[in-house]
């Protein structure tokens, strides 16, 4: 039987071309997701275990997403009522002739700092969500419920939070919740951040660095300033800077986020 060599050759060329196209598409998608973690116009959801995590550790990543015209959603998991900074705040209040505040007032003030920070970063008011999970004992299952609800509303979003390798229990709980949801196939795209104070300790595991875009630097600075405002009559107690002044010093010397997708 005579074999049509031309037909066979055409089939071979077509097959090779098809395989080459598939490889190009896979490599391109991997490249763009690695570079941007999301194409312009997507949705990025940032889960902050406490007020100030969003601007200290995730701020540059968040601002990069805004710079790419993504829809950015900020979710506060805990209002941070267990922080020992309340003692320093009350001491200063008494020194200035103001009455001390209780844990509920302290938490409300921290949530106010978070909201102001989010607005200064450039997040829309309607995209800011505040939860009040127990500070110091964040539960992975409760966090998963929150994340699952957002995943249902934004199925192709990229979800950002602190790493499950974080020494801080609450931060690690948020990272673990996101990791488990990804393994379960409920969430596809994830980004994990190292806290500023662990950059050196964990840098071998997290080698991706995002710098604050120059056009967004002023917003980053204003967001940090939201945690420095002292105006007791208006319910502002400079809690962030009082709690971790050294972390503010680190970020103001670098303006970056360190992260990994795993």
Smallest Cα–Cα separation from 75: which of 45, 53, 52, 104? 45
Distances (CA, A) of 189 to 63, 72, 167, 252: 18, 15, 23, 29
**Domain-embedded: residue 25:** no
Can you give the residue range of the structural domain that contains 194?
43-260
Exposure letters 73-107 (e unless 16+ CB within 10 A, then b):
bbbbbbbbbbbebbeebbebbeeeeeeebeeebbb
Query: Number of helices (H) and strands (E), helices first, in the chain?
Result: 11, 9
How much helix, strand and coil, in percent to the nearest 5, is found in the chain? 55, 15, 30
**Domain-embedded: residue 10:** no
The whole-angstrom distance between residue 256's C-alpha and the CA centroid of its chain comes to 12
How many separate domains does the chain show?
Answer: 1
**Domain-embedded: residue 2:** no
Q: What is the CATH number of the domain that holds 62?
A: 3.40.50.10320
**pLDDT by residue for the chain (262 residues), tens digit each?**
444 544 455 544 455 444 444 444 444 444 444 444 444 459 999 999 999 999 999 999 999 999 999 999 999 999 999 999 999 999 999 999 999 999 999 999 999 999 999 999 999 999 999 999 999 999 999 999 999 999 999 999 999 999 999 999 999 999 999 999 999 999 999 999 999 999 988 877 777 999 999 999 999 999 999 999 999 999 999 999 999 999 999 999 999 999 998 8
**Domain-embedded: residue 8:** no
pTM, two decimals, is 0.85
**Domain-embedded: residue 20:** no
Q: How many residues does the chain have?
A: 262
**Domain-embedded: residue 74:** yes
**Contact between 135 and 22 (Cβ < 8 Å):** no
**Domain-embedded: residue 254:** yes
**Domain-embedded: residue 11:** no
């Amino acid at each position: 039987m005579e074999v049509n060599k031309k037909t066979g050759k055409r089939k071979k060329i077509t097959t090779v071309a098809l395989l080459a196209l598939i490889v190009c598409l896979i490599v391109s998608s991997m490249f763009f997701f690695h570079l941007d973690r999301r194409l312009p116009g997507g949705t990025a959801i940032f889960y902050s275990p406490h007020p100030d995590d969003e601007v200290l550790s995730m701020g540059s990543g968040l601002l990069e997403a805004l710079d790419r015209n993504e829809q950015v959603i900020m979710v506060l998991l805990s209002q941070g009522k267990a922080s020992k900074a309340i003692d320093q705040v009350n001491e200063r209040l008494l020194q200035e002739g103001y009455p001390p505040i209780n844990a509920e007032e302290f938490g409300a003030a921290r949530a106010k700092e978070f909201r102001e920070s989010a607005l200064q970063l450039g997040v829309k008011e309607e995209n800011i969500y505040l939860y009040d999970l127990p500070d110091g004992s964040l539960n992975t299952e409760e966090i998963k419920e929150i994340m699952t609800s957002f995943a249902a509303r934004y199925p192709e979003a990229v979800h950002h939070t602190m790493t499950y390798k974080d020494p801080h229990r609450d931060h690690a709980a948020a990272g673990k919740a996101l990791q488990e949801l990804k393994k379960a196939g409920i969430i596809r795209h994830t980004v994990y951040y190292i806290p500023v104070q662990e950059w050196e300790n964990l840098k071998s595991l997290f080698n991706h660095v995002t710098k604050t875009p120059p056009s967004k630097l002023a917003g980053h600075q204003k967001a940090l300033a939201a945690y420095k405002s002292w105006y007791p009559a208006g319910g502002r107690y400079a809690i962030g800077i009082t709690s971790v002044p050294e972390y503010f010093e680190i970020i103001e010397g670098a303006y970056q986020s360190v992260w990994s997708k795993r």
